[in-house]
Amino acid sequence: MTLKEKIGYGLGDMSSSMFWKLFSYFLPFFYSNVFGLSLADAGILMLVTRVWDAVSDPMMGILADRTKTRWGKYRPYLLYFAVPFAVCGVLLFTTPENGKTVWAYVTYILMMTVYTGINVPYGSLLNVMTSDSDEKSVLSSFRMFFAYGGSFIALGIWEPLCNFFDKSKAAAVETAQAAEGLASISTDPTAWNHAMIVIAGCCCLLFVLCFLFTKEYVKSESTVSVGQDLKLLLKNKPWWLLIGAALASNLFNTVRGTATAYFFSDYILKTVEIAPEWAFLVSAGIFLSIGEVSNMVGVVLAVPMSRHLGKKTTYILSMAILVGLSIAFFFLPATAGGYWAMIVFQILISTFTGVISPLIWSMYADVADYSELKDGTASTGLIFSSASMAQKFGGAFGGAAVMWLLAGFGYDTTAGAVQTETAVLGLRMLMSWVPAIVAALAIVVTFFYPLTKKKMESVQVELAERRNA
């Protein structure tokens, strides 16, 4: 496999991740503080729409498994959905004058449906680009490296883009006034919409390039009915356990990421006093972007760690470290020194979440191979659709949980509101204890996952013999 193909594959998740991270980290803030939904309504919206989206994933996987074109089974969808993907992103961040609740539900469901249409085939493409398990880990690492690179760009420029398109912010810059206002993100609906137009255009181009640079090499077919495919999947123990592990890792990331905008807006920016020359570093976007760069470091470490320790052991070890770091984060003070310590912890936490991310996708490829050997039929798209399903369930429950917990702690969404001590405590717990509990649950689930390094070596040998027979 050429470097061009590896980079091309990575560009696909660079596009997906730019959207996904903005949806996960800033869309809740958009709905509650820009669009105008209540916290409770925003939480219900995110849960209902993403649950539907997660349910639609297996449908897309089944369809993709049975697609036959001159470009392959999965690759064509990257081209078919590239433009709709971008258009739906813009509509999602559009604020109408009337009928806001209906608009929010329709555009979110539409966006997530199109996201499924392009992302499930994209994920499945991994398993038909190579049949080698270690090479799949390499491809997964390229995928996640570019994904975090895209996230870094999107999160890093999002607040500046919103502020750039906000006329009131631009006027403040010109007059050198409203310094306090410049420290926070714009809440102008038009500015958010225009910022998304810029991001969406980039995402469309990246998916087209992914289509052009990749190829399908491994030939596999689903030889049973849709009903039998689903029945076999539900009997697959490693698949169930991996769903649990993937759900937990996505929940961990979503809770921390979603809470960050609120954590900064109503705690850090109002509490931490830092030297003026370093003030630009005190923002949710910068904090999250630092995390994305650290994720990229973790992705690089994932391949040597998993080759030496095995994927399962590497996952459990990384999650154990995340438990400890997350709990310690709670005790960092809201001072200048404490903020620098938070940056250090963000780097460490993000590095180990970066180690985990490519492992999950590579482990799904292992489950697909195990399933093909065990059941005699290839259901790669269906299995990888479950990965997307776990990601979306994690996002759905994580985003909704943050909304509801904030409401439970008495968080006030009124512009300029001073939060109570209880609300601030809730923000701090959402950045520490809550994700720590999720990481601990992930360790318990993964402990029972049976596809060890030794087991997969045996599976690959037997599967290669069957495919070549």
Q: What CATH number is associated with residue 366?
A: 1.20.1250.20
**CB proximity list for 159: less than 8 A, separation 6 or greater:** 185, 186, 283, 284, 285
Residue 178's pLDDT is 41
pLDDT class of 180 with cuts at 50, 70, 90: very low
Strand, helix or coil for residue 159: helix
The pair of three-digit structure tokens given for residue 173, joined into one six-digit string: 């810059």
Cα–Cα distance measured from residue 212 to residue 200, given in angstroms and rounded to the nearest whole number: 19
Residue 169's pLDDT is 62
Who wins on pLDDT, 453 or 173? Answer: 453
Cα–Cα distance measured from residue 60 to residue 67, given in angstroms and rounded to the nearest whole number: 10
For the segment 164-188, the average pLDDT, to the nearest whole number, is 62
Residue 181's pLDDT is 40
Strand, helix or coil for residue 72: strand
pLDDT class of 176 with cuts at 50, 70, 90: very low
Enclosing domain of residue 309: 3-468
Residue 177's pLDDT is 43
Cα–Cα distance measured from residue 2 to residue 344, given in angstroms and rounded to the nearest whole number: 36
pTM of the model: 0.74
Could you give the count of Cα atoms lying within 13 Å of 360 in the half-sphere of its Cβ? Answer: 28
The pair of three-digit structure tokens given for residue 444, joined into one six-digit string: 């318990």
Q: Could you give the number of structural domains in the chain?
A: 1
How far the first Cα of the chain sits from its last, in Å, is: 23
Q: Is the pLDDT of residue 101 over 70?
A: yes
pLDDT class of 179 with cuts at 50, 70, 90: very low
pLDDT class of 50 with cuts at 50, 70, 90: low
Q: Whole-number mean pLDDT of the chain? A: 87
Closest CA to 317 of 402, 237, 325, 96: 325
pLDDT class of 223 with cuts at 50, 70, 90: low
pLDDT class of 368 with cuts at 50, 70, 90: confident
Q: How far is CA 447 from the centre of its chain?
A: 23
Q: Count the Cβ atoms, other than its own, within 10 Å of residue 326.
A: 24
Who wins on pLDDT, 321 or 128? Answer: 321
Closest CA to 260 of 3, 22, 9, 10: 22
Closest CA to 367 of 306, 461, 450: 450
Closest CA to 126 of 299, 361, 379, 300: 361
Amino acid at 413: T
Q: Count the Cβ atoms, other than its own, within 10 Å of residue 108.
A: 23
Q: Is the pLDDT of residue 183 over 60?
A: no
Q: Count the Cβ atoms, other than its own, within 10 Å of residue 467.
A: 14
For the segment 366-380, the average pLDDT, to the nearest whole number, is 83
Who wins on pLDDT, 276 or 439? Answer: 439
pLDDT class of 184 with cuts at 50, 70, 90: low
**CB proximity list for 171: less than 8 A, separation 6 or greater:** none
Residue 54's pLDDT is 65
The pair of three-digit structure tokens given for residue 399, joined into one six-digit string: 């985003």
Range with lowest mean pLDDT among 329-333, 397-401, 458-462? 397-401
Residue 174's pLDDT is 47
Cα–Cα distance measured from residue 152 to residue 348, given in angstroms and rounded to the nearest whole number: 16
Q: Is the pLDDT of residue 136 over 60?
A: yes
